[in-house]
Structure 1
Amino acid sequence: MFSVVKRSFSSSSASAYKVAVLGANGGIGQPLSLLLKLNHKVTDLALYDLRGAPGVAADVSHVPTNSTVKGYEPEGISEALTGADVVVIPAGVPRKPGMTRDDLFNTNASIVRDLAKAVSENAPDAAVCIISNPVNSTVPIVAEVFKSKGTYNPKKLFGVTTLDVLRASRFVSEIGGTNPVNEKVTVVGGHSGNTIVPLLSQTNYKSLDTDVRDKLINRIQFGGDEVVQAKNGAGSATLSMAQAGARFAGAVLNGLAGEKDVVEPTFVDSPLFKDEGIEFFSSKVTLGPEGVKQIHGLGELSSHEEELIKEAKDTLIKNIKKGVDFVAQNP
């Protein structure tokens, strides 16, 4: 005879969270949904898209982790969002060769605005993680929608810049011949081109030759172009972005669960340069039960990094204004 051992799981012994993915059938959404299914804090995974989400949900639901998965199409968006602790938004169109993230603006701005309205109505207390590009403008769009609905909580709105951090770790490891897992590079500013500023002076790579340094920084800033070109018109960075999105959403969940010292760079409503008219800026943020627990300063910078930050700020002012103006003109 075999005895059956029953294990009981109490909610107090483990954190249980509902996560909604808006844009779950896309190139980022599918692998992101799979990675979130593997996160043991996610006990309820709601996958939404204009079409195809039930199929993604059925597929992902067979992965044997302790969570339920359900797919939703437009008529079910309210149910998908209700009760969500974290909402991740990768919805939108991908870049094609020759396109900048800003070229995506007109299409993705409307998509993000409409999804933000749905989130504000159905999950006003959720932590919202924006992946849809251009992040420098889509995060302000979401903020403006939430403000218009009276649901804006600056501590719970995040632009996901984690892919820049992952690329920085990978690319410096190729120069140093090291394991990228052990390379920690803080990336600040924003999430496109010259707004991406890796703080190499705060790493072991502060003494690189100028030529090597400049090439490395350029590669971190424009690494997405490598993928767009290699995919030859068939898409942009989806798999690495899914990993970045899952890592950041996981960090937000760790913060919500009260874990200590959860720190990630992210594009948030920030006091760092508000006096210069820059409402949002990416820097290291400690995450906690309320979302943003602490926004960290940039630390000591090299003179070259000071110049890069200045350029980034000039671009960010324009990017942020573009998002704010869009909602004002297209409420």
Structure 2
Amino acid sequence: MRKKVTIVGAGNVGATAAHWIAAKELADVVLLDVAEGTPQGKGLDLLEAMPIEKRDCNIIGTNDYADTANSDIVVITAGIPRKPGMSRDDLLNTNYKIMSDVVTKVTANSPNCIIIVVSNPLDAMAQAAFHQAKFPRERVIGMAGVLDSARFRTFIAQELNVSVENVTAFVLGGHGDTMVPLPRYSTVAGIPITELIAPERLAELVQRTRDGGAEIVKYLKTGSAFYAPSAAATEMVEAILKDKKKILPCAAYLQGEYGISGLFVGVPCKLGAKGLEQIIEIKLSAEEQAALQRSADSVKELCTVIGVV
């Protein structure tokens, strides 16, 4: 019996995640959206690509949560982008209402699922989903660090003209301006990048990583990144479905780790069949710890606005 993954939100991120998951033959996919016709059309189009790709995955598009019943994993990409004249709090409150509604319906139909949150503002939305689902923390995880680390790895590989396969990178903290890329723990074939890239240039790559989403929005003008975010969510889905015990930077609910409690913050996580199976605590310098705490404080600020702290 094949595994079942539901993706809530059939926009660019959701539909592309469905594409990656089906292309890797990881699971049957249910693509759900409130817009009538959109998930059905995209789902059918993707299903019709399966004979060409030689992949036995069933993909359906729907507006009905009943079709999502007994999902193993639910990836939530639903939410609205920030519009001109809208404050951050407006966006936060609107997406909080959407997240609460989605999680209520998802958990009613799939009480044993693992939830991966992709919606923004990421850390606060993961906190909202956790608050609403009342699941153990192992079963609600936020996708942020995988994407941010992939961006950092891309820039390091380009800078050094090496294979991306040789590059490992860690980015901790909240998904946004306060994220904490860790050059000390980032390597090329095991060699710390601090040995290979001059400090001033490294600082520029770190800043470009922080601005990674904004750089793409600037180019697209009317949209935001979706290939890399959906690939990042798919890597998390694969690690869980295949019980890979893969260590990935994800937003997890901390209970004293790194000196932080009661908040979703990006940290190294071991993902396997149970979802979040372990939080890896690495030693941080005083400066790195302070940066992580600042990141946690900004997450707390958002969570306070929507009352989920």
TM-score by length of 2: 0.88
1:202 to 161, 185, 196: 185
Match of 2:242 in 1: 254
In 2: Cα distance, 1:278 partner to 1:144 partner: 11
For the 8 Å contact 1:266–1:282, the answer to whether it is kept is: yes
2:276 to 292, 297, 301: 292
Letter in 2 for 1:245: A
**Distance change >3 Å, CA 112–CA 281, structure 1 → 2:** same
In 2: Cα distance, 1:170 partner to 1:103 partner: 33
In 1: Cα distance, 2:149 partner to 2:259 partner: 27
Map residues 164-203 of structure 1 onto 2, 5 A cutoff. Answer: 164-194=148-178, 196-203=179-186
**Distance change >3 Å, CA 184–CA 99, structure 1 → 2:** farther
Number of equivalences: 296
In 1: Cα distance, 2:255 partner to 2:208 partner: 29
Matched, 1:308 2:296: no
1:230 to 211, 219, 234: 219
Matched, 1:22 2:8: yes
Task: Give a deviation string over 1:9-36, Cα, whole Å, max 9, x none.
Answer: xx5xxxx200001002x12122111111
In 2: Cα distance, 1:114 partner to 1:186 partner: 33
Match of 2:133 in 1: 146
Task: Give a deviation string over 1:239-295, Cα, whole Å, max 9, x none.
Answer: 22122222222222222xxx4x32211111123448644422221111222212111
Match of 1:58 in 2: 44
1:271 to 238, 255, 278: 255
Match of 1:133 in 2: 120
For the 8 Å contact 2:254–2:261, the answer to whether it is kept is: no
For the 8 Å contact 1:137–1:322, the answer to whether it is kept is: no
Q: Percentage identity across aligned positions?
A: 26
3-state SS in 1 of match to 2:230: helix
In 1: Cα distance, 2:87 partner to 2:208 partner: 15
For the 8 Å contact 2:71–2:113, the answer to whether it is kept is: yes
Task: Give a deviation string over 1:47-92, Cα, whole Å, max 9, x none.
Answer: 111121110111010122111111111xx1122x201000011112
1:39 to 18, 24, 40: 24
1:219 to 208, 220, 243: 208
TM-score by length of 1: 0.82
> How far off its partner does 1:99 sit?
8.3
**Distance change >3 Å, CA 276–CA 181, structure 1 → 2:** closer
Cα RMSD over matched residues? Answer: 2.3
Match of 1:67 in 2: 57
In 1: Cα distance, 2:89 partner to 2:218 partner: 17
Larger radius of gyration: 1
> How far off its partner does 1:106 sit?
2.7
Point out where structure 1 has 5 or more consecutive residues left out of the alignment: 1-10
In 2: Cα distance, 1:143 partner to 1:310 partner: 21
Match of 1:4 in 2: none
2:301 to 314, 318, 321: 318
Letter in 1 for 2:143: V
